Structure 1
Amino acid sequence: MHEGADAAEPRYTRDELVDELGLTAEYAEKIWNAFGFARTSTPDKIFTENELQALRLFAASAEAMPLDAQVATARAIGQTMSRLADWQADQLREFDRDPDVPWTIDQMSAALGQVQQLIWRRHLALALDHHIELESDESQDLVVGFADIVGYTSLSRRIALDELEKLLESFEEQTFEIVTRGGGHVIKTLGDAVMFTTHEPAEAATIAIAIHELSADDEIPPLRVGLARGRVLSRLGDVFGEPVNIAARLAGSARPGTTLVDDSVSAGLADDERFYLRSIPSLSVRGYRRLKARTVEANKYYDGPVVTFGRSSDVTP
């Protein structure tokens, strides 16, 4: 094995890498395509000794992991990295055009790679600590939340693309901050929507109330939120199950500036004086003909610690 700096120098073409790993052409093509490189091929030496050893471990997992699971893992990594790289490339090009930025794209890329590795390792450690507590089937009881921008489709037709970009960035950034500070976890962003999870209904309700505050200064249009609680399956950084479907339906049915919750979340908030629940007629939505729901908001008559938290105040769930 090569050590030191040599291990980080490109030594293998794609075909040479496949030969070194002893992979079949069919297997290599499936994994390569899943990583997102179906249309990207080069005869250049682009793989290092370190990368060879890492991919050797990945390929060896075929003995314990079905091919479908390996492909799904590769696809999840490829899709995540592709989106991240596209965004980073835009940012680096913008910095490169700025005469006040003294670094080259190569220098910034190298630094960004180190920072990315640092942040990834920290998130992985936290995720591993969290998953130790989960059951072996990777299912758990969670509150799933969806928050989205009301009237986004028509809005996107009326405003310029640069304004739309600023709006979405502001919405994602501030919502992400609210969710993480409120003890929740952002699962994914969907342009005009954010999906998150929490362990407790009170956390989710507190987050929802704070999310609506983002529309107070008209910088962000009115928002709507849906919350549902139940068993979900955690897989490849996403969650699946009926609570996900119900939360999405509730968000889609909520009026601007309101939060709709299902029976399970409502039951978890019923004895909490910080929140006020109001019944509404059953909803008829796709997949659910009579979906029971309630609105939740901060109880204005509650004289204890405040429920909501803003962008600079402390979380007080």
Structure 2
Amino acid sequence: MTAPGTGEPRYTRDELVAELGLSPEYAEKIWNAFGFARTSTPDKIFTEADLDALRLFADSENTMPQTAQVATARAIGQTMARLADWQADQLREFDRDPDVPFTIDQMSAALGQVQQLIWRRHLALALDHGVELESDESHDLVVGFADIVGYTSLSRRIALDELEQLLESFEENAFEIIVANGGHVIKTLGDAVMFTAHHPSEAAAIAIAIHRLSESDDIPPLRVGLARGRVLSRLGDVFGEPVNIAARLAGSARPGTILVDDAVAIGLVEDERFYLRSIPSLNVRGYRRLKAKTLEANKYYDGPVAGGTR
């Protein structure tokens, strides 16, 4: 099947490598990083458009270290593999439905076009709005983890379709809240969502609004951890001590509570929308006396606390 506007496949993998002038060893390394087995195929699977795009990627070797190229290929491959696995399941399900009048090829072509459209829009927004998304850069950010309390035992008690609905509801609403309050979703981790925000007030508003999701019967109690500091932003993910601390705080929080580190608490001291309460130091993995505070909405504040609604 050919995606719209790309032309007919003309090259096998080996023919493509020869056209690009790559060494077989380097081509194998990139091919494997994209997530494919290190075996050749006689099938013609690449178009002229593919050749042009991959030529630009290959030419970047002059300005980008080979290790960075491989890391980029690996990030693309892992993301696309997860997306493709999910899409394949959805397409097979639709194909079995007699009420769906489209073939898998038709749905795949449409899905590819929509995927390109959405990706272009997200890329444009990322380029316009934030150094946060730049690769291999250190930034001062608030990192947050929000997860479902008792998820492991819950997943053993309810049916798989109920579990899917729970996760879908949690992710959909959490994403809406994070974006509405100026945050950025980094990734989902099963029953948890990891996000970043530039300012403690944004992160606090996100945490408060996420907790309100469990006021309905659809979503169980949640817990959130927030930590602030310098993080490394690389290939769409973030790394550093604030990530570790935020995860430890989320894991230590009681159901329905938010724990923040000192750096976040200092940034919220003069914000009358929030109330901070000291708690004893925490003894968690990697940190013997981790200082933290609980965060709540100030019940005496009359103005808005958080954007995003269910």
TM-score tier (shorter): over 0.9
Per the normalisation by structure 1, the TM-score is 0.92
Q: Distance in 2 between matches of 1:27 and 1:253?
A: 45
Shift of 1:137: 6.3
Shift of 1:134: 8.3
Residue identity over aligned pairs, in percent, reads 83
Give a deviation string over 1:230-285, Cα, whole Å, max 9, x none: 11111100111111111011000000000000101101111111111000000111
Shift of 1:7: 5.6
Q: How many residues align?
A: 307
Shift of 1:132: 5.5
Partner of 1:166: 165
Shift of 1:135: 8.8
Q: 1:116 aligned to 2:115?
A: yes
Partner of 1:307: 305
Partner of 1:315: none
Alignment of 1:1-317 (within 5 A): 8-38=7-37, 41-131=40-130, 138-303=137-302, 305-309=303-307, 311-312=309-310
Q: Distance in 2 between matches of 1:216 and 1:132?
A: 35
Unaligned residue ranges in structure 2 (runs of 5+): none
Please say which of residues 107-116 and 40-49 is displaced more in the overlay. Answer: 40-49
Q: Distance in 2 between matches of 1:108 and 1:266?
A: 49
Q: Distance in 2 between matches of 1:7 and 1:98?
A: 30
Runs of 4+ that moved beyond 6 A: 133-137
Partner amino acid for 2:52?
Q
Partner amino acid for 1:19?
A
Please say which of residues 88-97 and 187-196 is displaced more in the overlay. Answer: 88-97
SS in 2 for 1:61: helix
SS in 1 for 2:10: strand
Per the normalisation by structure 2, the TM-score is 0.94
Q: Distance in 1 between matches of 2:45 and 2:163?
A: 38
Partner amino acid for 1:111?
A
SS in 2 for 1:11: coil
Q: Distance in 2 between matches of 1:254 and 1:275?
A: 18
Q: Distance in 1 between matches of 2:79 and 2:251?
A: 26
CA contact (8 A) 1:298 1:308 kept: no
Shift of 1:42: 2.9
Shift of 1:105: 1.3
Shift of 1:129: 2.0
Shift of 1:40: 6.5
Q: Distance in 1 between matches of 2:14 and 2:245?
A: 47
Of the two structures, which has the highest relative contact order with CA contacts closer than 8 Å and spacing of 6 or more?
2
Partner amino acid for 1:104?
T
Shift of 1:32: 0.5
SS in 1 for 2:215: coil
Partner amino acid for 1:280?
I
Shift of 1:198: 0.7
Q: Distance in 2 between matches of 1:146 and 1:167?
A: 18
Q: 1:41 to 1:177 in 2, by over 3 A?
A: farther
CA contact (8 A) 1:134 1:140 kept: no
Please say which of residues 39-48 and 286-295 is displaced more in the overlay. Answer: 39-48
Q: Distance in 1 between matches of 2:131 and 2:140?
A: 15
SS in 2 for 1:9: coil
Q: 1:118 to 1:7 in 2, by over 3 A?
A: closer
Partner amino acid for 1:151?
G
Q: Distance in 1 between matches of 2:22 and 2:140?
A: 40
Q: Distance in 1 between matches of 2:214 and 2:120?
A: 35
Shift of 1:106: 1.1
Q: Distance in 1 between matches of 2:255 and 2:268?
A: 22
Q: 1:101 to 1:40 in 2, by over 3 A?
A: farther
Q: Distance in 1 between matches of 2:5 and 2:72?
A: 29
Shift of 1:130: 3.0
CA contact (8 A) 1:266 1:294 kept: yes
Q: CA RMSD in A?
A: 1.9
SS in 2 for 1:249: helix
